[in-house]
Structure 1
């Protein structure tokens, strides 16, 4: 007999329940459409630890920003190769240079996982946007151990994972030495999506050493530094992602899609920036600070901080107001995908006009009739 830690299909995949379960009775089940933390009741001793740690069962306190900026790293080379303004990398580099430990997401051996960096070289592995869910299994106890040994830790990740970490270590342990930075997340799919998509292209994700979803400011899947598709054309995975149709079910009722945040700093793209076209092309980050600790970190990290209109920033980042609205063709997309295991078929069936337009553009770009930009 099995049951779930939280409401069916609402699991964020934070995996905090796995780490508090002393009987190994919990497994995260990934159905492609949704995650669920499933309890094996034959192993369960009804201690209730998993239910207590779950962020869906007892939400964590969030705060409105105290200050807000747009800007970029002052390291021109880093900004050039970053997908936005390079702020996350600037924060991480400053932190390790001053004796701290950074925890963030990396792509390794075909998986998206969280790892730790204690050197500038290690930080480089965190670079790049990841448009799938990362697996945080195993990080909570390690971070709590660092904190109990008076080590400073900077966590950069999804807001639901930041919330889980804050609950796991406890508010008191998080006050001084834990610095939390969350991303403005518009929703995230199961990593099985990208694995399936690459299989459709006769690529094995295990053979990919470096996987990126953006080429600087351009949305484009890059495998080992090479573009997978025609420049300027969106492939099926990115079409699904950019149209919000391949996220897991919980993302459409996300508890963190609002201006109030659970972290010290929130970062994302500064969409709708009123700065010059040249600066926008170079990459601009949006930064919201919820705590004085977060503001001090920003000010010390070699980041160009420029005033930004918060109302305008929120208007261009709907995730600071409400979760992504589930597309009407969501179920059709997954029905076709689960039936055929073919990403092109699923996107063609659910985003027909958009899919066909990209096929036409692919031909026109190859014939040099239209620009790839």
Structure 2
């Protein structure tokens, strides 16, 4: 479709990909167009201009955001929960407590070659939720079911990115909020899943062959056996480098309306970077929690976690997205232009992030010569193939 004649649900190239508009449309009149650099929710000829999609869109309608009333740092008391998590394990501990209380958790999981969302009512079903996902996930298919569960009096905890939490709250509506609990994850930005697919294909791997995937891990506490990676242990792959340098996000992320101190969720969770507890944590990670509502306080109290005070200014100072969106690199357009021409992510990182590329070369040499020891959290894609 010609970009100039797109009839989009929200401002062109600003779609966050939450899929709430797709699910609220009863006419199958919305298609999500993914161009690597941007998502667009595009209306097709079935559209009757009822306006439901615009109203549910979190880019058009921002739910009420609140200041934090409490902020903590710490980790899960249970060692297995903590080791299996990408940070201090707060997300997993809260989810386990919620399930044990009789509630249902809805969160992201990698399954059938996609990062989608599922519901979990048992501890066993929660296992696929652990770990950070440095890619856009797709909640399509869960909105209606979640709303129906709330209508039937169930309590549901939704764990997702801030824009996804906003989409859920808009879809559910104000009358069903009592049974809905929400956790948003501090987000730098997210790439299209097509970027991840491209990266794997460049290394001769298909997402269809992969059983499990992690984007960072604790080097001395691996929870998966038979892990594979595109780079040696301790080095950072080009997908992860591009992510951390803010090159690979979709266009909307650089103007994110949810990257601020006021949050739309009950609890905001992330990494407690710069924490005074880093040495005490033994390299297992420290979680950060910002609590906005009494519901959020309830979630924190029910979880089996250790909590310590943290200075909010320090927390925000080490999590820039609690203040503002990620900055778009000056040559972001050229980066995606070269990607569209078929250049590999390895070549793009070498061209646009040369210092980071050289650091990995030096790090590889230092690891081989045993000058640098591996430890702590490693940022590297690891995966397991189906047997």
Q: Same fold (TM over 0.5)?
A: yes
* 1:196-248 Cα distance to aligned partner (Å, 9 max, x none): 11111111111010000011279x9x896334321221110011011111000
* 1:311-333 Cα distance to aligned partner (Å, 9 max, x none): 11011111000000111221222
* 1:113-145 Cα distance to aligned partner (Å, 9 max, x none): 011101110001101110001001111111000
Structure 1: 5+ residue runs without aligned partners?
none
CA deviation after TM superposition for structure 1 residue 62, in Å: 0.4
CA deviation after TM superposition for structure 1 residue 370, in Å: 4.5
Which residue number corresponds to residue 250 of structure 2?
Answer: 248
- Deviates further, 2-11 or 358-367: 358-367
**Which stretches of structure 1, 4 residues or more, deviate above 3 A after TM superposition?**
366-373
Determine if contact 2:203/2:230 at 8 Å carries over to the other structure: no
Determine if contact 1:105/1:134 at 8 Å carries over to the other structure: yes
Q: How many residues align?
A: 369
- Deviates further, 345-354 or 263-272: 345-354
- Structure number with higher relative contact order (C-alpha < 8 Å, ≥ 6 residues apart): 2
Determine if contact 1:33/1:249 at 8 Å carries over to the other structure: yes
Matches of 1:285 and 1:369 in 2, distance apart? 30
Matches of 1:133 and 1:81 in 2, distance apart? 22
Q: 1:226 is paired with a residue of what secondary structure?
A: coil
Matches of 1:335 and 1:299 in 2, distance apart? 49
Taking a change above 3 Å as real, the CA distance of residues 348 and 223 of structure 1, as seen in their structure-2 partners, is farther
Q: How does 1:142-221 map to 2 (within 5 A)?
A: 142-174=145-177, 176-216=178-218
Is it true that 1:234 corresponds to 2:236 in the alignment?
yes
Taking a change above 3 Å as real, the CA distance of residues 115 and 240 of structure 1, as seen in their structure-2 partners, is same
Q: Identify which of 3, 12, 29 aligns with 2:7.
A: 3
* 1:151-206 Cα distance to aligned partner (Å, 9 max, x none): 000010111000000011012311x2110000000111111111111111111111
Taking a change above 3 Å as real, the CA distance of residues 224 and 295 of structure 1, as seen in their structure-2 partners, is farther
Determine if contact 1:104/1:156 at 8 Å carries over to the other structure: yes
Q: How does 1:1-373 map to 2 (within 5 A)?
A: 2-40=6-44, 42-174=45-177, 176-216=178-218, 225-279=227-281, 281-368=283-370, 370-372=372-374
Matches of 2:219 and 2:326 in 1, distance apart? 22
Which residue number corresponds to residue 379 of structure 2?
Answer: none
CA deviation after TM superposition for structure 1 residue 365, in Å: 2.9
Normalising by the residue count of structure 1, what TM-score does the alignment of the two structures yield?
Answer: 0.95
Determine if contact 2:88/2:287 at 8 Å carries over to the other structure: yes
Taking a change above 3 Å as real, the CA distance of residues 223 and 59 of structure 1, as seen in their structure-2 partners, is farther
Aligned CA RMSD, in angstroms, stands at 1.8
Determine if contact 1:330/1:350 at 8 Å carries over to the other structure: no
